[in-house]
Amino acid sequence: MAMSWADSVSAAENPAGAASKSAYVPPHLRNRPSIEPPAQASYAGAAALGNDHSGYGVPNVVGSRWSGQRTENRSGYVGGGGRGGGWNGGRGGWDREVNPFTDEDSEPFSEQESSGINFDAYEDIPVETSGDNVPPPVNTFADIDLGEAVNENIRRCKYVKPTPVQRHAIPISLAGRDLMACAQTGSGKTAAFCFPIISGIMRGHFPRPPRPRVAFPLALILSPTRELSCQIHDEAKKFSYQTGVRVVVAYGGAPINQQLRELERGVHILVATPGRLVDLLERARVSLQMIRYLALDEADRMLDMGFEPQIRKIVQQMDMPPPGVRQTMLFSATFPKEIQRLASDFLSSYIFLAVGRVGSSTDLIVQRVEYVQETDKRSHLMDLLHAQRENGVHGKQALTLVFVETKKGADSLEHWLCMNGFPATAIHGDRTQQEREYALRSFKTGHTPIMVATDVAARGLDIPHVAHVVNFDLPNDIDDYVHRIGRTGRAGKTGLATAFFNENNSSLAKSLSDLMTEANQEVPAWLSRFAARSNYGGKSRRGGGRFGGRDFRRDSSYNRGAADYYGGANMNSGYASGGYSSYGAAGVTSAWD
Ligand SMILES: Nc1ncnc2c1ncn2[C@@H]1O[C@H](COP(=O)(O)OP(=O)(O)OP(=O)(O)O)[C@@H](O)[C@H]1O
């Protein structure tokens, strides 16, 4: 009898009812060679590792631009049935693939974890797509042909249905189209770019890598911080478990030799921070010649002044195939217009997708702004933490993330909190990578339920149970605020964000009050007065109404110069054309890597 998707998810959750549920591997047995041979030993991916001698010739990826059209030819479909074993290590022998679904870090919270996912919260969100021949969205995972092995992993992740960004972005990517996608924080963008990449690699035929000792990834996923790259790597490993697709991560601050060894064992998907990747490219240990998929997570950050030169070097000045040959996907919760313009250099006839308003925050986050003088900030924070201790936040075991402006400020606030009986840790760019990872783990597991952070932790990090984000120091840029508060209120859960505002933040008053209004938040009268007083309105990158225009190609000034660039627009709700005004220089920091 056919099983519904929801039934099969609960079957995957319930070992008794799930025959195919993977076995728990105790830590001391992990990384040992498997004694069982794989059920199906031939992977398209293995071609990229130099083991599949059938993999020569024109690459053939289902639904991709280089295969011309979606093909049902299953001779190249080698990963879908590939359960029961790891991947071929490329240099001989089968590796034991560690089961990525045994996440010890989340154990203290695991009971709460399965309860609160409420994606209905996103259901009535407006969606805008523009570009030529936009593939229609899907409603369920069952409507998307990602391959059985990926479907099994989606069930193991307990994803019952796709989030709105996934419903739209996955069919677009599976159709081989370039994509610029903007969707709110915590709405599932990682899976939206990972699923099509993994599925495409599983099904593709790729030429054999031309040189030994050089890694030739088929897909490159770039992100701005080490921690985010690690997180994407962990997620991608879950999604590609037992598919034969091998994911490797490379980031700064960690020993390069270990990463080189991993790369030598073969890589299909390389997740990297830009600095470390440039290093690997300059050492000629990685070649981008076989890249078929390029994904930039936090794409607006990757293309701002701090990272743009490195990204241009990687994408345009090395050996990566050009737009139109590779498939490029850009994702973020914020996309200032100037960055969209820059990004179009990297794309070919792309589709623009906006789920919710570009740069908006989700209504799931209750936003509070309090007027607090610099000298009172510590005692005010103490009051909040005391109240939280007594009442809990939204009834949850609360993790609190406190953002400050400087690394020194982070150290000193951490110290002060600890001295005052609040177990805190801190993460910032001057800490060693080991210290950063330790801090994050200690926070995630609830050992130190308060983490003081600079913007290094502002983007992308998916830390369950962050109930409260405190902007002890507000950022200068409203988009940074959107990403910071987005560390709570994720995956349909609610969250709380408190900001300490004073005269030093006047330049943010207008955009902050606009953002809060858009997100149906109560704007204090004093903040509205600040907003009215400040003549910084022209600095706002926002414009138009709540559903203002988003795709910069819809600007009349742009269209006059490049009328042929932009295809039709397809709006699922009534947007008026809006626009952004000038984009102030984004905070420059490439030292994150
Ligand atoms: N279809 C789904 N069903 C249930 N949970 C999901 C689904 N897709 C993603 N999630 C979960 O939602 C959470 C947020 O996803 P993700 O980190 O990809 O968000 P994001 O949009 O990239 O956020 P950010 O903008 O902050 O980077 C993760 O814990 C992820 O496992």
pLDDT by residue (tens digit) across 54-85? 332 223 333 344 443 333 333 332 333 343 33
Residue 74: is it exposed, middle or buried by C-beta count within 10 angstroms (0-12/13-18/19+)? exposed
Residue with tokens 């728990």: 24
376 CA distance to ligand 1 middle (Å): 36
Smallest CA separation from ligand 1 atom 13, residue: 491
Q: What is the dihedral of CA 210, 216, 279, 189, to 10 degrees?
A: 160
Residue with tokens 């993999």: 55
What are the Cα distances from residue 165, in Å, to 125, 183, 300, 339, 352? 10, 6, 17, 20, 12
Arithmetic mean of pLDDT over the chain: 79
- Residues with CB under 6 Å of ligand 1 are 117, 119, 159, 162-163, 166, 183, 185-191, 333, 460, 462, 486, 490-491
Give the mean pLDDT of 430-454. 96
Smallest CA separation from ligand 1 atom 12, residue: 491
Map residue 319 onto helix, strand or coil: coil
User: Which pLDDT tens digit goes with each residue over 403-414?
Assistant: 999 999 999 999
Q: Which atom of ligand 1 is nearest to the CA of 159?
A: 3
Residue 48 has pLDDT above 90, yes or no: no
Residue 186 has pLDDT above 90, yes or no: yes
Would you say 243 and 202 are in contact if contact means Cβ atoms under 8 Å apart? yes
Q: What pLDDT does residue 554 have?
A: 76
210 CA distance to ligand 1 middle (Å): 37
Return all residues near 234 (Cβ < 8 A) that are at least 6 apart.
100
- Phi first, then psi, for residue 390 (nearest 5°) are -75, -45
Residue with tokens 């080991």: 434
465 CA distance to ligand 1 middle (Å): 13
The H or E element that residue 272 is part of is strand 269-272
Q: Which atom of ligand 1 is nearest to the CA of 462?
A: 17
CA-closest candidate to residue 216, choices 59, 426, 80, 50: 50
Domains 119-355 and 365-534 share a fold: yes
Residue whose CB lies within 8 A of the most ligand 1 atoms, among 157, 182, 355, 365, for a mutation test: 157
Written in H, E and C, the secondary structure of 218-268 is: CEEEECCCHHHHHHHHHHHHHHCCCCCCCEEEECCCCCHHHHHHHHHCCCC
Q: What pLDDT does residue 388 have?
A: 84
Per-residue exposure over 224-245, b if at least 16 CB sit within 10 Å of its own CB, e if not: bbbbbbbbbbbbbbbbbbbbbb
CA-closest candidate to residue 280, choices 209, 216, 237: 216
Q: How far apart are CA 555 and CA 501, in angstroms?
A: 34
Residue whose CB lies within 8 A of the most ligand 1 atoms, among 361, 462, 465, for a mutation test: 462
Smallest CA separation from ligand 1 atom 22, residue: 189
Per-residue exposure over 311-330, b if at least 16 CB sit within 10 Å of its own CB, e if not: beebbeebebeebeebbbbb
Q: Which atom of ligand 1 is nearest to the CA of 162?
A: 1
Q: Name the fold adopted by 119-355.
A: Rossmann fold (3.40.50)
Position 508, amino acid:
L
Between 245 and 45, the more confident residue is 245
Q: How far apart are CA 452 and CA 574, in angstroms?
A: 41
Residue whose CB lies within 8 A of the most ligand 1 atoms, among 163, 298, 493, for a mutation test: 163
User: Which pLDDT tens digit goes with each residue over 120-172?
Assistant: 666 678 899 999 999 999 999 999 989 999 999 999 999 999 999 999 999 99
Q: What pLDDT does residue 397 have?
A: 59
Give the mean pLDDT of 239-257. 96
Q: What pLDDT does residue 357 have?
A: 79
What ipTM was reported for this prediction?
0.99
Q: Which atom of ligand 1 is nearest to the CA of 487?
A: 26
Band (36; pLDDT cuts 50, 70, 90): very low
Residue whose CB lies within 8 A of the most ligand 1 atoms, among 112, 146, 154, 189, for a mutation test: 189
State which CATH number among 1.10.240.10, 3.40.50.1820, 3.30.420.480, 3.40.50.300 fits the domain covering 365-534: 3.40.50.300
Domain ranges of the chain: 119-355, 365-534
Instruction: Say which range, 175-179, 448-452, 583-587, has the weakest mean pLDDT.
Output: 583-587
Q: What pLDDT does residue 117 have?
A: 55
236 CA distance to ligand 1 middle (Å): 12
Instruction: Say which range, 137-141, 203-207, 522-526, has the weakest mean pLDDT.
Output: 203-207
Between 271 and 545, the more confident residue is 271
Residue 2: Cβ within 10 Å count: 6
Between 405 and 553, the more confident residue is 405
CA-closest candidate to residue 355, choices 541, 128, 124, 118: 128
Band (552; pLDDT cuts 50, 70, 90): confident
Between 334 and 93, the more confident residue is 334
Q: What pLDDT does residue 558 have?
A: 58
Return all residues near 406 (Cβ < 8 A) that are at least 6 apart.
454, 473
Smallest CA separation from ligand 1 atom 27, residue: 460
What are the Cα distances from residue 559, in Å, to 197, 553, 555? 32, 6, 6
Give the mean pLDDT of 558-566. 43
Q: Which atom of ligand 1 is nearest to the CA of 460?
A: 27
Return all residues near 308 (Cβ < 8 A) that are at least 6 apart.
302, 342
Residue 231 has pLDDT above 90, yes or no: yes
The H or E element that residue 187 is part of is none
Position 583, amino acid:
Y
154 CA distance to ligand 1 middle (Å): 12
Residue 177: Cβ within 10 Å count: 25
Q: Which atom of ligand 1 is nearest to the CA of 141?
A: 1
Band (240; pLDDT cuts 50, 70, 90): very high
Distance of CA 468 to the CA centre of its chain: 21
Q: How far apart are CA 523 and CA 541, in angstroms?
A: 20
Instruction: Say which range, 56-65, 175-184, 514-523, 567-576, has the weakest mean pLDDT.
Output: 56-65
Smallest CA separation from ligand 1 atom 31, residue: 188
